[in-house]
Amino acid sequence: MTVHGGIAPAIAADVRRGELLEWWTLFWMSSVIVLMWLTMGASQAMKSAVIDKIVPAEYRDPDGDESGISMRARVSYASNDRAKQDAITYEELADPKWKGKICIRSGQHIYNNALFAAYVAHHGEAKAEEWLRGLKANLAQKPSGGDREAARDVAAGKCDIGIGNTYYWALMMNKDPDKKPWAEATKVILPTFAGGGTHVNLSGLLLAKHAPNRANGIKLIEWLAGEHAQQIYADANYEYPIRDGVAINPTIASYGKLKADTLPVTRIGASRKAASTLVDKVGFDN
């Protein structure tokens, strides 16, 4: 099995010490591809008492088909100069006081789809539609680009608030001298749902259907959820660990204490279709 992403070298070294797995035993990937495999019915339940114990129930699929392994929050990059507040709610993003001041990528992009789905799960479709219309009315431009462009547009003065994931900001700040000014012009505010927490989305793991080395696959998942691997993951990728007892990277910690929304991932998943429908209906991306 090979592991990719920023942490590959560190984890691969650890895996090499252990038992080698066939490389198609385990899928570990971006959320879009996880979804694709789920829709095709290509995964199987992993059923691990260890995972059940470590990973909070809201970040797992109760059937055991998927488990979150790390997470990031969907937050606002607020202009240091022009955004005067230090706290914000997702609901407030639709407030007319932000008219023409918000930048965001496509509403159908998986990150926004999940955020909007969480909104639907919290407030129902009707309220969500109203909110999306308000948010759309507040946009400074047609949704496009990626999360990094959101910070860039704020830094350039096109808008006051950009919506992006926590690790993009950390990467720009620490890993990319060209983009550091974009991050420096903004501060990360962790928004919350009214009466809830900050929306997080997950990197997940699936066990492949018919995996020939199922037991070892599960062992590896359990190891990845362990403190050591979680620490590597949190530091190399600027993600929030999925479990307690692991130190958060200082840049990420500088955003303030994360109060993650406790909405179960399955409920968000169930609202994704509605969120996608609403995005089209209100012409969010047009």
Residues 227-286 that bind another protein (CB under 8 A): 272-273, 275-277, 280-281, 283, 285-286
Options 11, 25, 255, 261; binder of another protein; rule CB under 8 A: 25
Can residue 182 be called a binding residue for another protein (CB under 8 A)?
yes
Options 16, 17, 23, 97; binder of another protein; rule CB under 8 A: 23
What are the two backbone dihedrals, phi and then psi, of residue 154, each rounded to the nearest 5 degrees? -65, -45
Q: Which is nearer to another protein, 192 or 202 (CB)?
A: 202
Options 180, 209, 228, 259; binder of another protein; rule CB under 8 A: 209
x-or-dash pattern for another protein, window 48-67, by CB under 8 A?
--------------------
Can residue 2 be called a binding residue for another protein (CB under 8 A)?
yes
Can residue 158 be called a binding residue for another protein (CB under 8 A)?
yes
Can residue 4 be called a binding residue for another protein (CB under 8 A)?
yes
Give the residues across from 51 on adjacent strands.
none
Which helix (H) or strand (E) element contains residue 278? Answer: helix 265-281
Spatial contact of 278 and 119, defined as CB atoms under 8 Å apart: no
Task: Round to whole Å and give the CA distance between 201 and 62.
Answer: 17
DSSP 248: P
Nearest CA among 112, 77, 88, 80 for reference residue 198: 88
* Measured CA angle at 113 (ends 51, 284), to 5 deg: 170
Can residue 36 be called a binding residue for another protein (CB under 8 A)?
yes
Helices (H), 157-197: 166-175, 180-184
Q: What residues have CB less than 8 Å from 39, skipping those under 6 apart?
A: none
Q: How far is the CB of 96 from another protein (least distance, A)?
A: 23
Q: What residues have CB less than 8 Å from 159, skipping those under 6 apart?
A: 79, 100, 101, 102, 103, 140, 141, 153
Residues 110-139 that bind another protein (CB under 8 A): 110, 113
Helix (H, G, I), strand (E, B) or coil at 148: helix
Residues of this chain that interact with another protein (CB under 8 A) are 1-6, 8-9, 22-30, 32-33, 35-37, 39-42, 106, 108-110, 113, 142-149, 152-153, 155-158, 167-168, 171-172, 175-176, 178, 181-182, 208-213, 272-273, 275-277, 280-281, 283, 285-286
